Amino acid sequence: MANLTNGYSHIESFLKIPTVKFTKLFINGEFLDSVSGKTFETVDPRTEEVITEIAEANKEDVDIAVRAAREAFDFGPWPRMPGAERAKIMVKWAELIEQNVEEIAALDTIDGGKLFSWCKAVDVPEASNILRYYAGAADKIHGDVFKTSRDLHLYSLMEPVGVVGHIIPWNFPTVMFLAKVAPALAAGCTMVIKPAEQTPLSSLFYAHLAKLAGIPDGVLNVVPGFGSTAGAAISSHMDIDAVSFTGSTETGRKIMQAAALSNLKPVSLELGGKSPVLIFDDADVDKAVDLALFGILHNKGEICVAFSRVFVQEGIYDEFEKKVVEKAKAWVVGDPFDPKVQQGPQTSKAQFDKILSYIEHGKTEGATLLTGGKPVGNKGYYIEPTIFANVKEDMLISQEEIFGPVMTLSKFKTIEDAIKKANSSKYGLAAGIVTKNLDIANTVSRSIRAGIIWINCFFAFDIDCPFGGYKMSGFGRDYGLEALHKYLQVKSVATPIYNSPWL
């Protein structure tokens, strides 16, 4: 493992960290203190030191933000603009993001422990691309004219759903912010966004850039706070028309209950995962090892689609196990600003402790710890890449989402056996298949109950491709035009036709 040097002097040798500029709630175009005056600490997971104090939104603050969003929707210009005008402003926002890529990437690195190089090269450019994609869709929203069997002119309108509540996770604070906000903006909605309390910094910076881009006051409001207060207030609010959430299945259930018990608002839930990858005997073992390892260690395993359950056909299992352990031991853990580092710290102390607890469960349940299993260094939330073998399907580490750098490794005999193992989970978010055989790829991809299947690849997302889950991984889709449509509703309009030569 790489040696850890957690002092800021070392960090500044890679990059001069920008000063945090925005720490208050963003409501109706202004940065404001919370009504209560309360703040909470956001902590740097590399050093365990407090970065800054963030204004803490409670129910009263959410009420104020919703009133601003409601006013902007009912009487403001945004829903009434031609789609092409909304698009111009969204493109301007995308340009501002591109001009500030390094600062935004640094904020996500200090706030969430993400690799600076990845944020700069992938996450932040992806955010601007998402905005451009939905800007392109903003002037292409239309209904249908129906050929009726009666003397009626009958057509449909696609109208914005109204005020939307977005509750976003801490593992991809930049991408998830824009994946929720961009299609809702294109549809003409206004919104209240609650970033995760662990990673609020980039969301507040995005709000600042949105204001500079010309998004009208009240259209976009950001209320950092805790799920039990600010998140609960959004979910149960009688004047929020829809909620989109990405996070844990447990929280998703609470949001759905709150929505049902309030104004029956529709919800979109992208929830937990326990994604399998099935590696068949014909696979290139070295490529399969690289794919499986990246699938569980990318973003320190804090990915809902992580390849946490690795199933290898018995003909190549022994070779695979030996090579994956060797590569895991060589994986570089350390300062996420260091371009040589492959894995930074877990996002928070709570997540760090949770992962270590699951590792202990794996040991006590009788799984074989092949490598890892311990913290790295004496400061920061770093954990060794961890691989368990001889994992039974009923073990906790095989059934529950760990959300960390922990792989469970098992073998299988037949295609039918592999499919059964892959589907033996309450989750159904993603799955992987590694094979050179097209028939196997086709059969297995159609047999696994998951929202996205990756054949000989991992993390192969595209803005145009919808993403979401089966089973307890939720419902609704982000990305693609499906995401735009969830922020629209259909209105049918009928007028009589008299003495027309045709219908």
pLDDT exceeds 60 at position 8? no
- pLDDT at position 9 over 60: no
Residue type, 468: G
User: What does the pLDDT average to over 309-330?
Assistant: 98
Q: What are phi and psi of 434, to 5 degrees?
A: -120, 110
Greatest pairwise CA separation for the chain in angstroms: 85
Superfamily of structural domain 25-271+469-490: Aldehyde Dehydrogenase; Chain A, domain 1 (3.40.605.10)
pLDDT tens digits, one per residue of 402-455: 999 999 999 999 999 999 999 999 999 999 999 999 999 999 999 999 999 999
Q: Is the confidence at residue 256, as pLDDT, over 60? A: yes
Nearest to 428 by CA among 470, 467, 477: 470
Kindly state the percentage of the chain with pLDDT values over 70.
97
At residue 324, does pLDDT exceed 90?
yes
pLDDT at 122: 97
β-strand partners of 473: none
pLDDT tens for residues 136-163?
999 999 999 999 889 999 999 999 999 9
Domains 25-271+469-490 and 276-455 agree in fold: no
Which of these is catalytic: 270, 302, 384, 401?
270
**Residues contacting residue 388 through CB under 8 Å, at least 6 positions apart:** 362, 367, 368, 369, 370, 397, 406, 407, 408, 409
What mean pLDDT do residues 247-268 have?
98
Other Cβ atoms closer than 10 A to 322: 13
Closest Cα to residue 269, out of 296, 242, 295? 242
Mean pLDDT calculated for residue range 393-404: 97
Q: Within a 10 A sphere around the Cβ of 50, how many other Cβ atoms? A: 10
pLDDT at 367 over 80: yes
Q: How many residues does the chain have?
A: 503
- Measured CA to CA, the distance from residue 117 to residue 385 in angstroms comes to 20
> Is the per-residue pLDDT at 11 higher than 70?
no
- Does residue 356 carry a pLDDT above 80? yes
Minimum mean pLDDT among 146-155, 179-188, 341-350, 351-360: which range?
A: 146-155
Q: Residue 484: what pLDDT?
A: 98
Q: What is the mean pLDDT of the chain?
A: 96
- Tokens 């993400």 -> residue: 114
What is the pTM (predicted TM-score) of this model?
0.95
5: left (phi over 0), alpha (psi -120 to 50) or beta: beta
What percent of the chain has pLDDT above 90?
A: 95
**pLDDT band at residue 12 under the 50/70/90 scheme:** low
Q: 256: closest CA among 268, 247, 246, 248?
A: 268
Say if residues 379 and 48 touch (Cβ distance below 8 Å).
yes
End-to-end CA distance of the chain: 74
Q: Whose CA is closest to 187, among 78, 95, 92?
A: 78
Give the pLDDT confidence score for residue 190 in this predicted structure.
98
User: CA angle, 172 as apex, 170 and 178 as ends, to 5°?
Assistant: 110
pLDDT(1) > 70? no
Q: Residue 165's beta-bridge partner residues?
A: 192, 243
Cβ–Cβ < 8 Å for 78, 86? yes
Query: Three-state SS across 411-433?
Result: EECCHHHHHHHHHCCCEECEEEE
- pLDDT above 80 (res 92): yes
DSSP-derived letter for residue 149 is S
pLDDT tens track for 162-215? 999 999 999 999 999 999 999 999 999 999 999 999 999 999 999 999 999 999
Helices and strands per DSSP (H, E), number in the chain: 17, 22
**Do 199 and 247 contact (CB within 8 A), yes or no?**
no
When mean pLDDT is compared across 13-27, 38-52, 67-81, 104-118, the lowest value belongs to: 13-27
Q: Which residues pair with 125 in a beta bridge?
A: none
CA 403 to chain CA centroid, Å, is 13
Beta bridge partners of 312: 279, 411
Q: How far apart are CA 454 and CA 396, in angstroms?
A: 25
Average pLDDT over residues 253-260: 98
Domain boundaries, the chain: 25-271+469-490, 276-455
Average pLDDT of 116-135? 98
Task: Give yes or no: 384 in active site.
Answer: no
CATH number of the domain at 276-455, please?
Answer: 3.40.309.10
Could you tell me the two tokens for 464? 């145009």
